[in-house]
Chains A and B, each alone.
Chain A
């Protein structure tokens, strides 16, 4: 097209990279057991890479069963004193941790973006503020457990074994550790093998806060270490966030024991848009719902259910909006879509998207140049999807949206609930009573109305059905860590 004035290049973004110099990553890290960094008993190490460049960031000790023994023993030794501390004193440790996280939040945001691949915009504006807020919130519960509604003087469980995923490494750590410590438990936490670094930096934060040794132990490692931790006799409480398949394995593993379990697993969230919805807001919500964190979010709105009468209008607006999204360097402050966390995850997303095409759904992506190194997947939209399609049933955990349509609210609810999962849902309509009527019928643990992917430490989060059980956040989140 001939034009005297090329608007696209005139309004192109200049690179705006966040500086890496705020974070100092050591060439190697140990396990954090009993207040000290130590090598793995087996001497094994693994490399953690930056998913956007495949650059090796550090070499990390890889925990095995023997290390799990050591860490659980350290947590057990620390439990007596820690749980006997007055709640007000435990509270002050957690407040210290919250403050130090706030102080070091820029450093941690850059670190998380490097190790995970998600945009700095998200780590800076979502992950880190939520991490600090979570510790701040549960700090305040430590001396108020009598008021939490679980009876007088509720007791902690003991040693919590916690296994967290790679999609929000530090935030998932906060969701696990903050309530556990507030209630008086000690913890052994295994971060995901692709994102161990922020948990190891957290170990340093515990040191700065003067946290007694053994109260928090960090064991970087693979699934075998997680399995050993879950199975360990000295563990009183198991908390897991990750895939539904592993969640089921854990449920089998703990059968017949006294271990208390909470599981936060997969999802296939339905984002339901009614014909009276504010279209522009809905488009923003759909985009947030599925492309936040490259769609690697258990509560992602990965199924768009749109009322038939507005389908064309909504899809046009959605495609226009997707064409403006910027994929690339996660450290660039203008980047909307960063890298996929690992080659393995990229392969999984690619295979599922290919299945979508093979089964007859129509695939669309905006024009989008992918960087040559690293793991990338263009934002992708499938139309003509039916409930029988694999991409409407299986969790993709990537930037892939499946669009289905409906005619009546009843049909929308039936389709939304037609899933093994029940973690999240979204409702878009200007009519309040419809929001509440639909929300009442949805079998999902979190329902967002005219917004999506909102999180707050005061607000309980967790799933129905095979999305797991137990809630994290809020007053409800304490229950998982108390003997009630």
Chain B
């Protein structure tokens, strides 16, 4: 506690949807406490309707974001890193409270999160060169495969790693041009809701990332069943919920990233401090292959 007699101003944490900061349409909130069970904030308990609104916002943003050049998206992701670097102190406090870490431990987590944005900023204009390419088909055809974003991705953020984990699941989704509806860690949503404030000031178009706080089960069900959602990342779902949502997702054949797809061992959760690899980037990509006849000029022409 500070020695100062000044009473601090508390922040009302709000959702981040379509570039705006609404409360839940339901008017519901729930209590968030720190690792020692001290009250921190009342945060929106998002409803099914909030989830659907967020999908609408994400869909609306998809055309512009997926149509932006990869270079432009890289610049924006790098801008997120720049904005976050300037607010490291705030996030270190929030992460320390959320995860029961010391401030210096939390600061390392936040720095890793900043660097994770930088890592994905660099991927925007490289992934196509790594997973795409010309195909040497046996005929007179030009044949090129390129990756494209799948669309709107629902993301159940990890429950434990409230910030590094959160960033590690959002950045790869949007780096390639998808837009995201993110359900924050239920127990520790504050870093996620604050991230919305960073995204809003990072040249990221509204609606590219939408952040909801609430119950993974309550929000996961309508998102997994939503016909205008193209993919779902189940990282933050427990095994039972993940299976249920995967079944619901099959209804329109959503691309599904299961928790076990990115888990090192059966028991442990994903290690977000490790090299992220490509799994999360490629999980939400389509491959488009274009054929075009090359015609023929005959065998003449100098070979020199």
Contacts and interface: CB of A to CB of B under 8 A. Distances in A.
Contacts of A214: none
A149 B125 contact: no
Interface string A410-445: 100110011000000000000111101110110100
Contact of B71 (A91, A136, A414): A136
Contacts of B140: 437
B126 A410 contact: no
A299 B119 CA distance: 34
Interface string A334-377: 00000000000000000000000000000000000000000000
Interface stretch (B89-97, B203-211, B234-242, B289-297): B289-297
Nearest to B277: A147
A92 B118 contact: yes
Given A149-B130, A436-B294, A474-B129, A443 B121 contact: no
Given A143-B119, A409-B297, A436-B142, A414 B126 contact: no
A76 interface: no
B125 A458 contact: yes
A140 B142 contact: no
Interface in A448-484: 457-458, 465, 474-475
Given A149-B130, A410-B300, A437 B122 contact: no
Given A136-B74, A141-B126, A143-B122, A465 B304 contact: yes
Interface residues of B, number: 31
**Looking at A137, A140, A436, A438, which has the most chain B CB atoms within 10 Å of its CB?**
A140
Contacts of A457: 71, 125
Contacts of B139: none
A416 B78 CA distance: 43
Interface in A162-207: none
A62 to B, nearest CB: 38
Task: Give the size category of A's interface with B.
Answer: 35 or more
A274 to B, nearest CB: 12
B136 interface: no
A142 B119 CA distance: 10
B287 interface: no
Contacts of B74: 136, 140
Interface of B: 70-71, 74-75, 78, 115, 118-119, 121-126, 129-130, 140, 142, 278, 292-298, 300-304
10 A-B pairs with the lowest CB-CB distances in the bound complex, closest first: A140-B122, A433-B295, A437-B295, A436-B294, A413-B301, A417-B302, A475-B129, A433-B293, A441-B301, A410-B300
